[in-house]
Amino acid sequence: MDTATIITFFIYILGMLVLGIIGYRMTHNLSDYFLGGRKLGPGVAALSAGASDMSSWLILGLPGAIYLAGFGEAWIAVGLTLGAYLNWQFVAKRLRVYTEVSNNAITLPDFLENRFRDNSRLLRSASAAVILIFFTVYVASGLVGGAVLFSSTFGYDYMVALLIGGAVIIVYTFLGGFIAVSWTDFIQGTLMFLALIVLPIVTITELGGWNETVNIIGDLTGGDHLHMVQGVGMLAIISSLAWGLGYFGQPHILARFMAIRSHKDVPTARFIGMTWMVFSILGAIFVGIAGLAYIATDAVQSELAERGMETVEENGLLMLANEEAVFIAMTQLLTHPVVAGILLAAILAAIMSTVDSQLLVSSSAVAEDFYKGFFRKQASNKELIWVARISVVVIALIALVIASDDTSRVLDLVANAWAGFGASFGPIILLSLFWKRLSRNGALAGIIVGAVTVLTWEYIDPFGGLYEMVPGFLLSTIVAIVVSLVGSGPKQEVQDEFDKAREIANT
Amino acid sequence: MEEYSITFGTYFWLFVPMLLVVVLSGISWVKERDKS
């Protein structure tokens, strides 16, 4: 690894830590810590929603999947883009307004409890438990991403890489909280965008243009990797598109909607957010496809060996041992050492942005929902911030244990956590915002059925490979509606509040 | 080297849904801005 790359890389990380410390000094209360006091402008809200959402999946997972199997994997990207758009279009504004009207709720469990006037704490506990389970898996995926980065860049052993990456992320989240996180997410979002646009262009130019790149891939794979429709099964397409359903229930993304300055900023944020996402995703797809052609060339293979990157032979084709390192490998092979340092920092930045926001939402579940809810009803704000910070460390340690298996892949871990949230919260958030008749019991049943379906689907799947999101989302929706219709309707004050939120959101 | 090409279907499904959401969100952003 070049010295210039290392210096650039570490300057970047140091900068992020400084921002974390500034964030720490600006944190006065819990709402500041979690939502930045609902003061985010549209640009920051959009890019931080994007960066906290995508990250290691976008830079490692998606290019890795395309590198391994070709354009057929791009259906996930299509499903996600459509889902993100619908989420911005229908959920963002209404949720921003409703959470404020509903006794200024600052977390998802808070909102559900206030929305249904639930005094039993059942709804709060169920949703906080879902948050804890699936975010721990999610955080593990980010830590795997960090480990892939440190091991392929610096040649560290997987476990050493995992511990270094984990330590950097935890220290940063521990200090900062949401103000630092949203601002640094904005920086990461910009860097990721630039990296994903520049790298495939450089690679395709290096290979002699787009037609030449296509011919090389065709020769290497017999043309299989070039098709998105032909040879791709319907079940695979449905499963991939179903990723889009997940958006409606991701607490870390919904938290960005809740933190936006005004609901009137949503259209601007949506436009910025969708433009960022579409170009980044297309960039990631082309990183994977161009990487396949580039890495298979003989000259590159020997350079990879010199840099100590592991390769394997699959069907007569030499490929990276860990397909998810394709972006990292190309960054080092193709760019100036200083640029490589910045781009590699962008990857770590992306991973940090997701893991820290997920750690924050999980820690808020522990502090607000379990600690304050059950043990210390009179806990002060200062005490809660400290409980949240300690929870960050504990959750991260559990995630480290999950990530310590070096055959883990970012994509697999993300798929499970994404489905968990999408199926348990997605239908309930949509129904809460748009269906007045939804009852507390309906919401509770929907959350539990969604989570249980995702956790057990792997063992009962009669279709052999249908993504757990599909049955989870459907069953949760059906159960929530049926249970609500069977019981008595919501109280008048709940209905009045629903109408008030709808009225404000429509102005 | 044999000549390969990417089918219309692949280009269509890759680009059309993605560009569509950018255009739609752009239109509603312009509309909102004009309204205020």
Give per-residue pLDDT as tens, A278-289: 999 999 999 999
pLDDT at A150: 85
Contact A82, A248 (CB under 8 A): no
CA distance A138 to A482: 31
At residue A1 the predicted structure's pLDDT band, cuts being 50, 70 and 90, is low
Mean pLDDT within A272-278: 93
pTM (global) more than 0.95: no
Whether residues B28 and A267 touch (CB distance < 8 A) is answered with yes
- CA-nearest of A175, A193, A194, A189 to A356 is A175
Closest CA relative to residue A476, chosen from A266, A264, A245: A245
- How many CA within 13 A on the CB side of residue A270? 30
Beta-bridge mates of residue A314: A317
- The string of pLDDT tens digits covering residues A342-387 is 878 877 777 877 787 788 778 888 888 888 878 888 888 889 888 9
Q: Which of A169, A118, A122, A160 is nearest to A141 (CA)?
A: A169
Among chain A residues, the shortest Cα distance to B19 is held by A278
CB-CB neighbors (< 8 A) of B34 in chain A = none
CA distance A338 to A333: 13
Q: Can you give the pLDDT at residue A410?
A: 86
User: Which residues in B have their CB inside 8 Å of a CB on A?
Assistant: 1-7, 9-10, 13-15, 17-19, 21-22, 24-26, 28-29, 31-33, 36
pLDDT (average), residues A382-406: 89
User: For the segment A283-330, what is each residue's pLDDT rounded down to a tens digit?
Assistant: 999 999 999 999 988 788 888 887 777 788 877 787 888 899 999 999
Closest residue on chain B to A219 (Cα): B2
Q: What pLDDT sits at residue A322?
A: 86
Cβ distance of A81 and B36 shorter than 8 Å? no
Mean pLDDT of A127-149: 91
Question: Which of A58, A66, A80, A85 has the most B C-beta neighbours within 10 Å, making it the best mutation to test the interface with B?
Answer: A85
Residue B1: band (very low, low, confident or very high) from pLDDT cuts 50, 70, 90: low
The secondary structure of residue A222, as a DSSP letter, is T
Looking at residue A155, its pLDDT comes to 80
A195 pLDDT band, cuts 50/70/90, is: confident
Q: Which residue of B has its CA nearest to A276?
A: B22
In the predicted model, what is the mean pLDDT of residues A185-194? 76
Strand pairing partners for A40? A260
Whether B13 shows a pLDDT value over 80: the answer reads yes
Q: What is the pLDDT of residues A158-178, one digit of tens each?
A: 899 999 888 877 877 776 554
Q: Which of A85, A219, A281 sits opposite B1 (nearest CB)?
A: A219
Residue A275 has pLDDT above 80, yes or no: yes
- The whole-number pLDDT of residue A355 equals 82
ipTM of this predicted complex?
A: 0.95
Residue A178's pLDDT is 46
Of B4, B9, B29, the CB nearest to A223: B4
- Tell me what percent of the residues of chain A surpass a pLDDT of 70: 93
Tokens 């909280």, located at residue: A177
Distance between CA atoms of A482 and A151, rounded to whole angstroms? 50
Q: In whole angstroms, give the CA distance from residue A38 to residue A96.
A: 9
Mean pLDDT of the A214-243 span? 91
Alpha-carbon distance A431 to A437, whole Å?
Answer: 9
Which position has the higher pLDDT, A52 or A446?
A446
Q: Provide the H-helix boundaries in A404-439.
A: 410-434
How far is it, in rounded angstroms, from Cα A149 to Cα A165? 9
Name the more confident of A180 and A387: A387
Give A402-420 pLDDT, tens digit per residue.
999 888 888 889 999 999 9
Could you tell me the two tokens for A104? 């200024």
Per-residue confidence (pLDDT) for residue A420, from 0 to 100:
97
Q: Identify whether the C-beta of residue A425 lies closer than 8 Å to the C-beta of residue A253.
A: no
Q: Are A420 and A133 in contact (CB under 8 A)?
A: yes
More confident residue, A1 or A12: A12
- Written in H, E and C, the secondary structure of A68-108 is HHHHHHHHHHHHHHHHHHHHHHHHHHHHHHHHHHCCCCCCH
Q: Output the pLDDT for position A25.
A: 67
- pLDDT average, residue stretch A73-91: 96
Mean pLDDT on A447-464: 93
**Shortest CB distance from A228 goes to which of B9, B19, B21?**
B9
Helices A122-154, A158-176: crossing angle, 10 deg rounding: 130
d(CA A5, CA A387): 38
Please list, residue by residue across A94-124, b when 16 or more beta carbons sit within 10 angstroms of its beta carbon and e when fewer do.
bbbbbbbbbeebbbbbbbbbbbbebeeebbb
Partner-chain contact A270 B13, CB within 8 Å? no
A127-131, A260-264, A313-317 — which is least confidently predicted?
A313-317
Split at pLDDT 50, 70, 90, the class of A33 is low
Residue A362, pLDDT score: 86
Q: Stretch A94-98: mean pLDDT, rounded? A: 96
pLDDT bin (cut points 50, 70, 90) of residue A28 is low
Residue A88, beta-bridge partner list? none
State chain A's mean pLDDT as an integer: 87
Tell me the pLDDT band of A24, cut-offs 50, 70 and 90. low
Contact assessment for residue A73 and residue A240, using Cβ atoms and an 8 Å cutoff: yes
Q: With left for phi above 0 and alpha for psi between -120 and 50, is residue A37 left, alpha or beta?
A: left
What was the pLDDT predicted at A107?
Answer: 81
